[in-house]
A and B are shown apart, each in its own frame.
Chain A
């Protein structure tokens, strides 16, 4: 139904777009982290996130308070990520890209099935450390939970940045991403750096899952669509740029809302296709994305 344009409405659309975008951004960040270190796009990233979120739910269902369950889940996610790299990806790392893509698709199918099998299809409420209430700023309702989610996502980005910038381990990982052969000569244990990359990505995924679950609720297919938005965000920002992933995620969240709200042809129905079409356009005009730096063209 057409509505006269109002700034408060516009601001509301932008704010809620940012909230949704923060979730896309954290999963996109996980994708970028893996791509940066191993040149692999992990199609199972969403399912890994769902699986670990269910583990967190299980802990809380058994009576563990939120933060211990949260921490324990991150540990398990880290171990899981490292394990996936060592067991599934390492043996095929020198095979063509498509083989690795298919491996992660195999993992996607298996994990999705496993999650449904273990925990069933019923929708589950998932706790959040932030209350589901809101503050009103200039006629715009801002959810406290959304602010919390947003801060967690930003906090993670800052932590990651500090890690890569100022720690030896972080520097080593960056070196491996930049030039594995040279790093090996310098004595960096390249294999373990890659595994660490997967571990951190799994942790990021788990955080994305646990931040998303309170608003979109927990079910086995929870992250499938989020993953698609995360892909779009990562590609939009430049698949090798963490900053790009965050900006891409937030931008995507806002643009989708605005398109749906203000462009009649798009409406509520074509929001996803339009977002993906925009994405395709960006890719064609600027294949490296908004913040991407290098063009990889293997000979």
Chain B
């Protein structure tokens, strides 16, 4: 018989004769159809995949399994230390004697599963399916990314699986609880943060001319909305709004416009790398606004260091941002007992070579602290129901956060952290100033 058709690509081949292939195609088609006909009755017999479960999934006498998805590779892998920091904290919890005199939580070891979604929501969906169906997690905890959590929210809510303490500051985790009662956020939301900057400007620079540079997506627009709310009647202070796209390699065009607008106060609502690029570009264009306000993502010290190296420390000095966690890299906190202990635990239980000055390991610890608190609050025999109820009874001080901030929720308050503090960049570090600001 003639070999299958091959291409120049696949090697040198030749065409089969006409009659040959028609026969072959017919025979094969007939075979497929016959097979299908024979199989169909068998296939459509009801397969029940929803076996009635007696016990709570993910909870055994000795363990409790939780999981989440994070970008561990690709451009957003900047955040990869978060789940690893959480892992280190859980490892410690699994080995220490707790308040109940047992290791883990009520004698159950925390099993922490996390996967790399590459910051692609389609992968988030698949991997969350894996967590739910294969790893049988008790709850989805701290998954990262706004769109990513949005993609899995309906499915988790339908299955009544808690989706808690998500790592995104979009406001709808706290707002849409009636529609999605199994979902709750954690960090201060972007609107609240944007509002704080707006309020600060009206109080401290009431005659400012503001230029806003924002990322053209829900993230940037949420911040912009918040800023406008904060400015209130002074909205007209904004003299220039320019956006950027992830595919822009140069922001000179936009920033030249902002300079030409005569603005003296610059609000940067952008993620880390674009923020440094924008600062360097403004410097290159010889534009030095009096005040620079940047969202808290820029509080990652490596980012500000890169900006200072490029544009000169003078240029970025005085930049205003905000925070809610202690700055584990700042001199102020080097003797803080919680930061000292964090460094010790990270070295002991964290991944090899983990940099203790990286903000995101610290973020992981802070988040894990609240997770453990919640697991205790969910009771000796936790169920998904009792866990989600516990998320509405949060009321404690998380020692990883700036003094005075309370983690607090209630029946109508679905925002666990809603206080922030403004920080100012001076001589290489962000320093807190002013009093706590209530975001909601």
Physical contact A–B (CB less than 8 Å): yes
Could you tell me which A residues sit within 8 Å of B by CB distance?
Answer: 1, 3, 6, 8-9, 12-13, 16-17, 19-20, 23, 95-96, 98-99, 113, 116, 120-125, 132-134, 136, 141, 143, 145-146, 212, 214-217, 219-221, 225-226, 228-229, 253, 256-257, 260-261, 268-269, 271-272
Task: Assess the A122–B78 pair: CB atoms within 8 A.
Answer: yes
Measured in the bound complex, the distance between the Cα atoms of B286 and A132 in whole Å is 9
Task: Assess the B245–A217 pair: CB atoms within 8 A.
Answer: no
Measured in the bound complex, the distance between the Cα atoms of B247 and A228 in whole Å is 10
Which chain B positions have C-beta within 8 A of A268? 216, 242-245, 248, 253-254
| Pick from A120, A132, A261: contact of B284, CB under 8 Å | A132
13 additional A-B residue pairs with CB within 8 Å, beyond A8-B260, A217-B280, A221-B75: A1-B241, A3-B261, A6-B260, A16-B256, A19-B252, A123-B272, A123-B303, A141-B286, A143-B285, A146-B284, A215-B277, A253-B250, A268-B245
Task: Assess the B281–A215 pair: CB atoms within 8 A.
Answer: yes
How many whole Å from A84's CB to the nearest CB in chain B?
22
Task: Assess the A132–B257 pair: CB atoms within 8 A.
Answer: no
The reply on B111 being an interface residue by CB < 8 A is no
Task: Assess the A269–B243 pair: CB atoms within 8 A.
Answer: yes
The reply on B276 being an interface residue by CB < 8 A is yes
The reply on B302 being an interface residue by CB < 8 A is yes
Task: Assess the B285–A9 pair: CB atoms within 8 A.
Answer: no
Measured in the bound complex, the distance between the Cα atoms of B303 and A8 in whole Å is 32
Measured in the bound complex, the distance between the Cα atoms of B72 and A116 in whole Å is 11
Task: Assess the A134–B284 pair: CB atoms within 8 A.
Answer: yes
How many whole Å from A250's CB to the nearest CB in chain B?
13
A225 and B247 in contact (CB under 8 A), knowing A123-B303, A125-B306?
yes
Tell me if B's interface is mostly helix, strand, loop or mixed.
helix
Q: Kindly supply a per-residue 1/0 record for chain B positions 58-85, scoring 1 wherever the CB is within 8 Å of any chain A CB and 0 otherwise.
A: 0000000000000001111110100000
Which chain B positions have C-beta within 8 A of A12? 256, 260, 285
Which chain A positions have C-beta within 8 A of B244? 268
Which chain B positions have C-beta within 8 A of A217? 273, 276-277, 280, 306, 310
A132 and B277 in contact (CB under 8 A), knowing A257-B252, A268-B244?
no
Could you tell me which B residues sit within 8 Å of A by CB distance?
Answer: 8-9, 73-78, 80, 216, 239-245, 247-250, 252-254, 256-257, 259-261, 272-273, 276-277, 280-281, 283-287, 302-303, 305-307, 309-312
Which chain A positions have C-beta within 8 A of B307? 125
Measured in the bound complex, the distance between the Cα atoms of B284 and A113 in whole Å is 32
Which chain B positions have C-beta within 8 A of A229? 249
A125 and B241 in contact (CB under 8 A), knowing A219-B75, A269-B216?
no
| Pick from B250, B253, B256, B310: contact of A214, CB under 8 Å | B310
Task: Assess the A143–B284 pair: CB atoms within 8 A.
Answer: yes
Task: Assess the B286–A134 pair: CB atoms within 8 A.
Answer: yes
Task: Assess the A125–B309 pair: CB atoms within 8 A.
Answer: yes
Which chain B positions have C-beta within 8 A of A216? 249-250, 277
Which chain A positions have C-beta within 8 A of B249? 20, 23, 212, 216, 225-226, 229
Which chain B positions have C-beta within 8 A of A269? 216, 243, 245
Task: Assess the A98–B9 pair: CB atoms within 8 A.
Answer: yes
A132 and B283 in contact (CB under 8 A), knowing A116-B77, A121-B75?
yes
How many whole Å from A216's CB to the nearest CB in chain B?
6
Which chain B positions have C-beta within 8 A of A272? 245, 247-248
Measured in the bound complex, the distance between the Cα atoms of B376 and A254 in whole Å is 60
A9 and B73 in contact (CB under 8 A), knowing A125-B309, A214-B310, A269-B245?
no
Best-surrounded residue of B240, B249, B254 (most CB of chain A within 10 A): B249
| Pick from B248, B260, B283, B284: contact of A271, CB under 8 Å | B248
Task: Assess the B240–A141 pair: CB atoms within 8 A.
Answer: no
Task: Assess the A13–B280 pair: CB atoms within 8 A.
Answer: no
Measured in the bound complex, the distance between the Cα atoms of B284 and A215 in whole Å is 9
How many whole Å from B78's CB to the nearest CB in chain A?
5
How many whole Å from A6's CB to the nearest CB in chain B?
7
Measured in the bound complex, the distance between the Cα atoms of B256 and A13 in whole Å is 7
Among residues of A, the one whose C-beta sits closest to the C-beta of B239 is A1
Measured in the bound complex, the distance between the Cα atoms of B272 and A84 in whole Å is 34
Which chain B positions have C-beta within 8 A of A134? 284-286
A1 and B261 in contact (CB under 8 A), knowing A143-B284, A268-B244?
yes
Which chain B positions have C-beta within 8 A of A132? 280, 283-284, 310-312
How many whole Å from B32's CB to the nearest CB in chain A?
31
Among residues of B, the one whose C-beta sits closest to the C-beta of A267 is B243
Which chain B positions have C-beta within 8 A of A8? 260
Best-surrounded residue of B216, B239, B286, B302 (most CB of chain A within 10 A): B286
How many whole Å from A68's CB to the nearest CB in chain B?
20
Task: Assess the B260–A9 pair: CB atoms within 8 A.
Answer: yes
